[in-house]
Amino acid sequence: MKIIISGGGTGGHIFPALSIANEIRRRFPEAGILFIGAKDRMEMQRVPEAGYKIKGLPVSGFNRSSKLKNIGVAWRLLKSLFLAHKYVRRFKPDAVVGVGGYASGPTLWMASLLGIPTILQEQNSYAGITNKLLAKRAAKICVAYRGMNRFFPADRIVLTGNPVRKDLENVKPKNPEAYRYFSLQNDRPVLLVLGGSLGARTVNNGVKNGLKVITDSGVQVIWQTGKNYFDKILEELKDEMPDNVWISDFISRMDYAYSIADLVVSRAGAGTISELCLLGKPAILVPSPNVAEDHQTMNALALSDNQAAVLLRDKDATDLLAPTVLSVITDKAKLQALSEHIIGFAQNNSAERIVNEIVSVLRIEN
């Protein structure tokens, strides 16, 4: 078996892609796997680190603020289509899987023109323009939310969920080792703040503005600032950092962080939401307004409309994050209800189920 997996740009696309690749490799050790990503994006580093080969395309997103700059974007798209065609023809895959991100469009489009089966993995509750176009030629469309027949042909949709990292599939609740790892006490509530790999400005500002009132209430904080904000926040709070706050630009042991978190504050990216659902974690979601088609708000609404998360608009987060956190984390009934509702959205063994669909498209015995 030879498979191309295309997409990336963010961890939310890369982690599922690697999970799918790892499951293919586990099931078919001799399988050939090639990734196609976007040059200068994080997949060009993360994929080789995971032991897979990757080719890069110069593709980039359209500039919504300057139409003139889109001349260069269009040229890079044309060049990417040419390169995608070359890479697909040379590798001769049996199927091509798109996980979202800039590179998946040219790659899957060229594969479909060459008569190669394509499988889409749509991670969000609101499908983007590229995936809606690619769906017309896709053999299967693996989705994480119900009701996606609004965007895709119903007969090709399969509800699989989004793959999550293996270390999060068996998280031990209230693990004593996790409290020791973060130097926190096991008899006080823990707030986990996730700013993403780069950081979320309004989330960080909301935590910073309300840190004293949050920690004075006895709440402990695990705060991932993201690398763009870590040094600045440390400098601003160097003389005022409470003892019951663990702060870093990155959390290497997310299994430990989730284990002891009573409440999570996060953006509403598809990958993080899948993790929260799987683990049944109560959450306050602050969708980023700076993403294509405002899909993070759609993701958050899919949960908040079903009492499975609290939605806090980005424009309100700086002032209202702290009072919202305190109103939720001090209400045990609210926490329990959020946990029960969000776990109802969980989809287990997603990578295995997606690979099952690849196998079914190729009609091979497993």
For 203-246, how does the pLDDT look when each residue is reduced to its tens digit (9 = 90+)? 999 999 999 999 999 999 999 998 888 899 988 888 888 889 99
How many Å apart are CA 185 and CA 176, to the nearest integer? 9
- Helix, strand, or coil (residue 80): helix
C-beta of residue 121 within 8 angstroms of C-beta of residue 142:
yes
Tell me the percentage of the chain whose pLDDT exceeds 90: 75
Q: Could you tell me the pTM of the whole model?
A: 0.87
End-to-end CA distance of the chain: 11
Asked if residue 366 has pLDDT above 60, the reply is no
Asked if residue 283 has pLDDT above 60, the reply is yes
Q: Region 349-363: what's the mean pLDDT? A: 95
How many Å apart are CA 202 and CA 314, to the nearest integer? 7
Half-sphere exposure of 127 (CA within 13 A, CB side): 24
Closest by CA to 200, choosing from 269, 258, 260, is 269
How many Å apart are CA 283 and CA 261, to the nearest integer? 10
Using 50, 70 and 90 to split pLDDT, how confident is the model at 279?
A: very high
* Least reliable range by pLDDT among 25-39, 164-178, 263-277, 324-338: 164-178
pLDDT value at residue 159: 96
Token duo for residue 329 = 């984390």
DSSP state of 152: S
* Tens of pLDDT, residues 93-133: 999 999 988 899 999 999 999 999 999 999 888 888 889 99
C-beta of residue 132 within 8 angstroms of C-beta of residue 152:
yes
Written as one string, the DSSP assignment of 11-36 is HHHHHHHHHHHHHHHHH-TT-EEEEE
> How many CB atoms are closer than 10 A to CB 240?
9
> How many CB atoms are closer than 10 A to CB 144?
26
Token duo for residue 278 = 């799987």
